[in-house]
Amino acid sequence: MNSQKPTRDGADGMDSRRTIEIVRAGLRRRQAAEKRFRLYGLLAILLGLVFLSVLFVSIVGNGYSAFAQTYVRLPVYFDAAVIDPEGTRDPETLGSADYAGLVKASLREMFPAVTERGERRALYGIISNGAGFELRDRVLGDPALIGTRQDVWLVADDEIDMLVKGRVDRTLPELDRRVKDDQIGWVDRLDAEGRVEKRFNTNFFLAGDSRDPELAGIRGALVGSLYTLLLTLALSFPIGVAAAVYLEEFAPRNRITDLIEVNINNLAAVPSIVFGLLGLAVFINFFGIPRSSPLVGALVLTLLVLPTIIIASRAALKSVPPSIREAALGVGASPMQTVIYHVLPLAMPGMLTGTIIGMAHALGETAPLLMIGMVAFIVSIPAGVFDPATVLPVQIFLWADSPERAFVEKTSAAIAVLLAFLILMNAVAVILRKRFERRW
Amino acid sequence: MVRKSVVMAAITTTLLAGAASVQAAARDYISIVGSSTVYPFSTVVAEQYGKSTRFKTPKIESTGTGGGFKLFCAGVGVENPDVTNASRAIKKSEYDACQKNGVKDIIEIKIGYDGIAVANSRKAPQLQLTLRDLYLALAKEVPDPKGGDRVVPNPYKTWKDVDPTLPATKIEVLGPPPTSGTRDAFAELALEGGCSTFGWIKDLKKQDEDRFKRICMTVREDGAYVEAGENDNLIVQKLESNPNAVGVFGYSFLDQNRDYVQGSIVEGVAAEYEAIAEGKYPISRPLFFYVKKAHIGVIPGIEEFLKEFTSEKASGPEGYLSDRGLISMPDAERARFRDAAVKLTPLSM
């Protein structure tokens, strides 16, 4: 120390002016560099926000109209001669009658001038294919309707729906449009008579998949996602926490545990399709679990999210200070009691956060499900974990691949629903962390 | 140690027993796999069938034609699919694989035709192409433009290089990847058709079939042909934003998007319903599905599904499938397959 001081003093005395000048000369450059550095960070965030808002704007812009659906009010005569010619009111007869014919008869009555075969086909095309089934359900629910004339709101065909929503360019030559001039004329007339209305699309949330866009809904996919995620949670959380507790609290530190640790970290980075192949080979081909069922989906997704949960849980356990364990052990608690009553409750918020993020990951996953048959057209709503089911992202994928134009808005609407769930789950994770996390 | 192994054994037995009980459970819905081209038609029929009969709506997976046959031919039993869709006829090797695994009687039903459209954006002029143009524009190796019976790496950069009547835009074709049945059909119908217009290559077919196939069906890899994935909607969107590009996709996507894209005229014929139905449009192929006869009577409703699919209201010229872009078969052919669907005539190869 002493030997250095004179030299520094000497330097100070001789070069004091020069040092301050050097600092001053470089100061502006250093401050500019500082500003640039902050600007880069800000720009990075802004760029991210721009992409995000473009994504949101395009999804909402394409998808918001899917939450409305066009209905047409038609006077339908529930002709007893068609529905129940023998007057038996037998549900079997009522169920198999030609209800689509009633809708067609009603349209013919509204537009008596339309007589030519091709024109009539175009006229019938205004109302959805599902309208007949809707009338059937009404009659089965209330057989007193037979023989009466009712004004019924029926779902419009998807192309008419697009027209009413302004997604058909009327200025194009007729040949290049799916909706023909005649149809536009009829719809405009119906509209002028107050027979066309846009309503909230309850069907979108209550129906299963359909190849008719106006009848398609996400309920089947939502229920499938729910079953799959609940099972995944039930399987992966206990296994993940148990593995993390053992590795962190009890396992000796040696080669084998190191190897296990490396493997777990590695598994977290394995492409998800690999888990699908594994699921196909083990769960379906060896154990014979039914293809396309939420059970097999959950088993595969469990494999997928386990590494995430184990890593997050171990980090949470590590952050509990050793003094807690020592204090518990010191007053005579067994190692198990220490873990269960003291360490686990303190680590739980971190573990739950990791689990929710893992679940959000599982909710958005499609690739592994491709191999186990969950990428499929399934109309019925799954009633259990053995029924064939699909999940939300798969539904989005299938709709994005459909030729019908009206599926574009359905796809975006389904994406919006999926995003809403993801935001909800991640928000819960953040709240859990903010509310219960303790810092030492 | 002993206790641990006992516990392990118990867990394994429980799992296996559980699995066995699951496997024994019957399936009460039809399971369908196969071609992504047939998928949009098969699903419509399945939905109609599910709504109008007392049976459950079939489950339909889109696995591709080849993947479908692999699953279909894996064996007989409820864990295997009952029906597979195909955008080409079953191959001898696939039929043999089926036989080997005990899938003996297979019923073949042709459902109609699908045209493959070559289309570009409406912002660009409509193209008048020949199969030869398509081959010269897309093959990896083409006959030497200077003449002689030899091939050179494809030298053509613009459509005008291929045929002076075409516009001078860069060749940029978006099409399906090799895993797709559409690509197989396109290579077979358009590329092979185009390269057979060269006399010496046509003669090669009899002498050296491998070389013939290599010359005719290999698609260039220098960026002029872009594999755009199995999603035809994506190709339509890309064409809309890039008027210079040309896309290859199924007729139903052209039919649904005529306000954005226009079909090219191939060999003087436009890709229209009537032209494809009459067999005038050169790039069209038949679509099929195959049924496992051993499952009829075991899985409920297969016969009724066959009836619905072959009925006039589904696959007839005015049926609901024609609204979706399926080209229906001529009357006699339809009657023949409807008969096969009723009598359940198995395929022999």
- pLDDT tens readout for residues B5-47: 555 555 554 554 444 444 445 788 999 999 888 999 999 999 9
Of residues B179 and A251, which shows the higher confidence score?
A251
Please list every residue in chain A whose beta carbon sits closer than 8 Å to the beta carbon of residue B61.
Answer: 292, 373, 375-377
CATH number of the domain that residue A306 is part of: 1.10.3720.10
Place of tokens 């379906």: A284
The predicted complex's ipTM stands at 0.78
Query: Could you tell me the maximum CA-CA distance found in chain A, to the nearest angstrom?
Result: 121
pLDDT digits (tens, 9 = 90+) for B94-142: 999 999 999 999 999 999 998 899 999 988 999 999 999 999 999 998 8
d(CA A213, CA A66): 10
Query: Could you tell me the maximum CA-CA distance found in chain B, to the nearest angstrom?
Result: 85
**Residues A349, A394 within the same domain:** yes
Q: Are B228 and B175 in contact (CB under 8 A)?
A: yes
pLDDT digits (tens, 9 = 90+) for A387-407: 999 999 999 999 998 888 899
**Residues A122, A204 within the same domain:** yes
In this structure, the number of other CB atoms found within 10 A of the CB of residue A386 comes to 18
d(CA A35, CA B287): 65
Domains and CATH numbers, chain B: 29-114+285-343 (3.40.190.10), 115-282 (3.40.190.10)
Rg (chain A; Cα; Å): 33
Distance, C-alpha A117 to centroid of its chain? 44
A189: containing domain: 67-212
Residues of chain A predicted below pLDDT 50: 1-11
With CA atoms as reference, report the closest residue to A229 among A289, A283, A291, A297: A297
pTM of the model: 0.82
Residue A288 DSSP label: -
Percent of chain B with pLDDT over 90: 40
Q: Reply yes or no on whether the pLDDT at B159 is more than 70.
A: yes
**Residues A306, A234 within the same domain:** yes
At residue B20, the pLDDT reads: 44
Q: Reply yes or no on whether the pLDDT at B70 is more than 70.
A: yes
At residue A5, the pLDDT reads: 47
Q: Reply yes or no on whether the pLDDT at B81 is more than 90.
A: yes
d(CA B47, CA B321): 12
**Residues A337, A360 within the same domain:** yes
d(CA A248, CA B281): 69
DSSP output for A151-192: EEEEEBPHHHHHHHTT-S-TTS-GGG-SS-HHHHHHHHHHHH
Residue A170 at interface with chain B, using a CB cutoff of 8 Å: no
At residue B1, the pLDDT reads: 45
Residue B82 at interface with chain A, using a CB cutoff of 8 Å: no
The region of weakest confidence among A42-46, A411-415, B302-306, B325-329 is B325-329
Number of domains in chain A: 3
Q: Are A302 and A228 in contact (CB under 8 A)?
A: no
Contact A388 B50 (CB under 8 A): no
**Residues A351, A411 within the same domain:** yes
Residue A402 at interface with chain B, using a CB cutoff of 8 Å: yes
Distance, C-alpha A48 to centroid of its chain? 21
What is the nearest CA distance from B183 to chain A, expressed in angstroms? 17
At residue B88, the pLDDT reads: 85
Residue A78 lies in a domain: yes
Residue A84 lies in a domain: yes
Q: Reply yes or no on whether the pLDDT at B242 is more than 60.
A: yes
**Residues A155, A121 within the same domain:** yes
End residue of a domain, out of A179, A212, A245: A212
End residue of a domain, out of A161, A191, A212: A212
> DSSP 3-state assignment of A377?
strand
**Residues A281, A303 within the same domain:** yes
**Residues A312, A341 within the same domain:** yes
What is the nearest CA distance from A166 to chain B, expressed in angstroms? 14
Residue A4 lies in a domain: no
